A and B are shown apart, each in its own frame.
Chain A
Amino acid sequence: MVFTHRKDLLGLADLSRDDIDTILDTAVPMKDVLTRDIKKVPTLRGKVICTVFYENSTRTRTSFELAGKYLSADTVNLAVSTSSVQKGESLKDTIKTIEAMGTDVMIIRHSMSGTPHYVARNTHMRVINAGDGAHEHPTQALLDMYSIREKKGSLEGLKVAIVGDIEHSRVARSNIIGLSKYGCEIRVVGPATLLPAEIEALGVKKYYDVEEALDGVDVVNVLRLQLERQKKGLFPSISEYSQRFCITHKRLSVAKKDVLVLHPGPMNRGVEIDSRVAESAISVVNEQVTNGVAVRMALLYLMMGGAA
């Protein structure tokens, strides 16, 4: 199974289509647990999960924590801002400390790409990448894929547009890698300064014009625009960005009738996505959050609960 011969989940690049199917299939009954009155199953009793987030997060960290709790694991969060990291403790020493306390799974988010790989090399704990720099955010892509599959029935051959700051987006990379395994036609659109070098070599089509990119698509995944990028000179102003790339109903009129809109959150309403779109029936923004818990439960279960 997915984690029989694999210790960690560092990126979707490491998973096969079968692996992803297994995770998404396992998430279906997990979502049922979430909708019950008593949201608890004893599967992971006695297991310990530690989340270590070097970057701010609302949904990913809470989602992992609740996923662990619903499966009866003990979950702790290392608050990096109040930990010994602030006293200059190295990452390696931090890992060893967490390991020494009996932790089974360490879930790490870090601003620097590849840090989960470094952690995984230096510990016996299982490691889940909860987002590393501009590299991968595998559980976000898994929950996006779950959300799409749930609405569309299948991922096979869908046309998906990813809109915004592709250069700095780990969500974009994991989505591209994951959806490519299902033969999706993936389009990326954003300002030329926010599309990374040789992005087309990843098997995607590149657009600068949002209407062209949205023409006939089944799914639009809208990325969060990190406003500080403007100060780095990567685009001239928020207003010009919004005028060219904000996802509005008008722009979506060229997409398929049953187009689905995703956003990993947190949203800058009126910048990359129009509030009316975010709150409309075609948006699955809130369901994505629910599905995120289900997918993470599935992952933790597959990692520690034995064979699926």
Chain B
Amino acid sequence: MKLLIKGGRIIDPANNLDMTGDVLIEDGLIKAVAPAITAGDDAEVMDAAGLIVCPGFIDMHVHLREPGFEYKETIATGVRAAAVGGFTTVSCMPNTDPVCDNRAVASFVVEAARREGLVNVHPIGCITKGQQGQEITEMAALVEAGCVGISDDGKPVMNAEVMRRALEYALMFKLPVVSHCEDANLSEGGQMHEGYYSTLYGLKGIPAVAEESMVARDIMLTRMTGSRLHIAHISTRESLELVRKAKESGINVSCEVTPHHLTLTDKELAEYDTDYKVNPPLRSLEHVEALIAGLRDGTIDCLASDHAPHEKEVKDCEFNLAAFGISGLETAVPVVFTHLVATGKVDVNTVVKAWTVGPARVLGLDRGTLTPGKVADITIIDPNESRRVDPQQFYSKGKNNPYKGMNLKGWPYATLVNGRVIAWKGQLV
């Protein structure tokens, strides 16, 4: 089995590569990357002229909802959404029902994903049993079952002592602790970012400091324990400053940002459209600008969708009653290409890095590069493809997406896992 991807712009940040050339895949592995490769007659050829050829994109923060919330998403629908969205690997959050706080649930997720056989799925286990924030989980069992990190995503670990012990215990397994930084007392009842627009719209605000105070706490705990901390969906300027300073002083901290926090502001809630209701909330413009700068200068390591699919009923209702979350796997790539790359705000190499080697390093995955010999997980982007977002056409069960109706440019052209094309031009193969 040989496949030659010909004449594309190859971007492989792990190897500092940005050139026009060919990628040869053989038996599911990268065989060669060079300006011009002559393959034998037995090689299938894909013309990639005008396309961007990258290592397979990794979305390290998705909610696949199974087990327990199959009416929101299943592993089967979630991996399909990932594939057409241009992702070859996802790591899924543990706030299912039951939560992924033990070997059995983690094994179930791994096995269910393996049966689908589309994209690589790595579960993230809970920090605490039942996500209750009280007792730390059996991390050895979680790791054995395939977990690549731990997080109580959606529920912050409010007890600093518990967080300290979790960070320490995770050290033994080199597990990143993925922290959803939110002081639940400061954010209680909040519906949107606290600021001018929350005052104007009369919605209870979630102050930026609800995130920042916990980022500060977790960085201090990480400094003390020498552990590895990853800040999930960072959303404020001061959070970013804290991460920047922590990195400068050698603390092992990384962070991710979502496409929506980079491209939408709190102003958009004027019509109380619940598709814009997300946690952390869409922030004001100065935060958005700081996040873009943070992605540009490398303070932000990863892009992640925080794909949070929901059934219609919990979004088609009063704003306060609506669930938080955006079904983002299928628009993450074009949103970033349209609003950040095409506008010149962020260089395409930086974007590719944050979707490949960035998350691969955080999660310790042997993925995210086109180095010969590595698994041929590849994402190919067509930067000129323009399409209107129609959530009803999503593979995801979740149609909750604020980019609905918008024209976006720069869509995934093909997604390859183990050298096999699994999605092509927005459709599963």
Question: How far does the Cβ of A186 sit from chain B's closest Cβ, in whole Å?
Answer: 14
Interface residue A170 (Cβ < 8 Å from any Cβ of B)? yes
B202 A118 Cβ-Cβ under 8 A:
no
A201 B196 Cβ-Cβ under 8 A:
yes
B317 A135 Cβ-Cβ under 8 A:
no
Q: Which of A114, A115, A201 has the most CB of B within 10 A?
A: A114
Instruction: Render B199-216 as a binary contact track against A, CB cut-off 8 A, 1 for contact.
Output: 111111101000000000
How many inter-chain contacts with C-beta < 8 Å in the A-B complex? 70
Instruction: Render B146-164 as a binary contact track against A, CB cut-off 8 A, 1 for contact.
Output: 0000000000000000000
In the complex, what distance in Å separates the CA atom of A134 from the CA atom of B319?
Answer: 13
Contact of B319 among A115, A196, A197 (CB under 8 A): A115
Question: B227 — which chain A residues lie within 8 A by C-beta?
Answer: none
Interface residue A90 (Cβ < 8 Å from any Cβ of B)? yes
In the complex, what distance in Å separates the CA atom of A13 from the CA atom of B271?
Answer: 12
A114 B203 Cβ-Cβ under 8 A:
yes
Question: How far does the Cβ of A278 sit from chain B's closest Cβ, in whole Å?
Answer: 27
Question: A202 — which chain B residues lie within 8 A by C-beta?
Answer: 196, 199-200
Interface residue A199 (Cβ < 8 Å from any Cβ of B)? yes
In the complex, what distance in Å separates the CA atom of A170 from the CA atom of B271?
Answer: 17
Ranked 8 nearest A-B pairs via Cβ:
A114-B272, A135-B202, A134-B202, A113-B202, A196-B199, A112-B320, A198-B196, A114-B319
Question: How far does the Cβ of B365 sit from chain A's closest Cβ, in whole Å?
Answer: 41
Question: A132 — which chain B residues lie within 8 A by C-beta?
Answer: 202
A117 B271 Cβ-Cβ under 8 A:
yes
B interface, how many residues as a size bin? 20 to 34
**Contacts known (A197-B199, A198-B199); A118 close to B272, Cβ less than 8 A:** yes
Instruction: Render A83-123 as a binary contact track against B, CB cut-off 8 A, 1 for contact.
Output: 00000001110000000000000000010111101100100
CB nearest to B316 among chain A residues: A92
Interface residue B39 (Cβ < 8 Å from any Cβ of A)? no
Interface residue A136 (Cβ < 8 Å from any Cβ of B)? yes
Interface residue A173 (Cβ < 8 Å from any Cβ of B)? yes
Interface residue A133 (Cβ < 8 Å from any Cβ of B)? yes
Contact of B201 among A90, A114, A118, A199 (CB under 8 A): A114
Question: B272 — which chain A residues lie within 8 A by C-beta?
Answer: 113-115, 117-118
Q: Which of B201, B205, B271, B318 has the most CB of A within 10 A?
A: B318
A interface, how many residues as a size bin? 20 to 34
Question: B191 — which chain A residues lie within 8 A by C-beta?
Answer: 113
In the complex, what distance in Å separates the CA atom of A170 from the CA atom of B202?
Answer: 7
CB nearest to A120 among chain B residues: B271
B203 A133 Cβ-Cβ under 8 A:
yes
Question: How far does the Cβ of A13 sit from chain B's closest Cβ, in whole Å?
Answer: 8
Instruction: Render B305-322 as a binary contact track against A, CB cut-off 8 A, 1 for contact.
Output: 000000001001111110
In the complex, what distance in Å separates the CA atom of A2 from the CA atom of B340?
Answer: 41
Question: B271 — which chain A residues lie within 8 A by C-beta?
Answer: 114, 117, 121
In the complex, what distance in Å separates the CA atom of A110 from the CA atom of B203?
Answer: 13
Question: B205 — which chain A residues lie within 8 A by C-beta?
Answer: 196-197
A197 B194 Cβ-Cβ under 8 A:
yes
Question: A91 — which chain B residues lie within 8 A by C-beta?
Answer: 317-318
Question: B313 — which chain A residues lie within 8 A by C-beta?
Answer: 90
In the complex, what distance in Å separates the CA atom of A147 from the CA atom of B292?
Answer: 49
A113 B196 Cβ-Cβ under 8 A:
no
Contact of A135 among B195, B201, B316, B318 (CB under 8 A): B201
Interface residue B415 (Cβ < 8 Å from any Cβ of A)? no
Instruction: Render A119-151 as a binary contact track against B, CB cut-off 8 A, 1 for contact.
Output: 001000000000011111000000000000000
Question: How far does the Cβ of B404 sit from chain A's closest Cβ, in whole Å?
Answer: 14
**Contacts known (A113-B319, A114-B272, A117-B271); A197 close to B202, Cβ less than 8 A:** no
Interface residue B20 (Cβ < 8 Å from any Cβ of A)? no
In the complex, what distance in Å separates the CA atom of A198 from the CA atom of B272?
Answer: 20
Question: How far does the Cβ of B315 sit from chain A's closest Cβ, in whole Å?
Answer: 11
Question: How far does the Cβ of B79 sit from chain A's closest Cβ, in whole Å?
Answer: 32
Interface residues of A in 41-61 (CB under 8 A from B): none
Question: How far does the Cβ of B405 sit from chain A's closest Cβ, in whole Å?
Answer: 14
In the complex, what distance in Å separates the CA atom of A60 from the CA atom of B272?
Answer: 24
In the complex, what distance in Å separates the CA atom of A200 from the CA atom of B6?
Answer: 59
Interface residue B198 (Cβ < 8 Å from any Cβ of A)? yes
Question: How far does the Cβ of A106 sit from chain B's closest Cβ, in whole Å?
Answer: 15
Could you jot down 8 A-B contacts, CB within 8 Å?
A110-B318, A114-B319, A115-B272, A118-B318, A134-B204, A135-B201, A201-B196, A202-B196
A198 B195 Cβ-Cβ under 8 A:
yes
In the complex, what distance in Å separates the CA atom of A118 from the CA atom of B315?
Answer: 11
Question: A134 — which chain B residues lie within 8 A by C-beta?
Answer: 202-204
Interface residues of A in 220-259 (CB under 8 A from B): none
Question: How far does the Cβ of B287 sit from chain A's closest Cβ, in whole Å?
Answer: 14
A197 B195 Cβ-Cβ under 8 A:
yes
In the complex, what distance in Å separates the CA atom of A87 from the CA atom of B339?
Answer: 45
Question: B196 — which chain A residues lie within 8 A by C-beta?
Answer: 197-198, 201-202
Interface residues of B in 352-369 (CB under 8 A from A): none
Question: B321 — which chain A residues lie within 8 A by C-beta?
Answer: 112
In the complex, what distance in Å separates the CA atom of A266 from the CA atom of B316?
Answer: 34
Question: How far does the Cβ of A189 sit from chain B's closest Cβ, in whole Å?
Answer: 16
- Please name 10 further chain A to chain B contacts, defined as beta carbons within 8 Å, in addition to the given A113-B202, A133-B202, A134-B204, sorted by A numbering: A91-B317, A113-B201, A113-B272, A113-B320, A114-B203, A118-B319, A133-B203, A134-B202, A198-B199, A202-B200
Question: B199 — which chain A residues lie within 8 A by C-beta?
Answer: 173, 196-199, 201-202
Contact of B317 among A13, A92, A133, A196 (CB under 8 A): A92
B318 A115 Cβ-Cβ under 8 A:
yes
Question: A13 — which chain B residues lie within 8 A by C-beta?
Answer: 200
**Contacts known (A113-B319, A113-B320, A117-B272); A173 close to B195, Cβ less than 8 A:** no
Q: Which of A117, A118, A121, A135 has the most CB of B within 10 A?
A: A118
In the complex, what distance in Å separates the CA atom of A201 from the CA atom of B207?
Answer: 17
In the complex, what distance in Å separates the CA atom of A37 from the CA atom of B277?
Answer: 52
Question: B316 — which chain A residues lie within 8 A by C-beta?
Answer: 92
Question: A197 — which chain B residues lie within 8 A by C-beta?
Answer: 194-196, 198-199, 205, 207
Question: B200 — which chain A residues lie within 8 A by C-beta?
Answer: 13, 173, 202
In the complex, what distance in Å separates the CA atom of A98 from the CA atom of B369?
Answer: 59
Q: Which of B200, B207, B321 has the most CB of A within 10 A?
A: B200
**Contacts known (A134-B202, A136-B202, A202-B200); A112 close to B195, Cβ less than 8 A:** no
Question: How far does the Cβ of A93 sit from chain B's closest Cβ, in whole Å?
Answer: 11
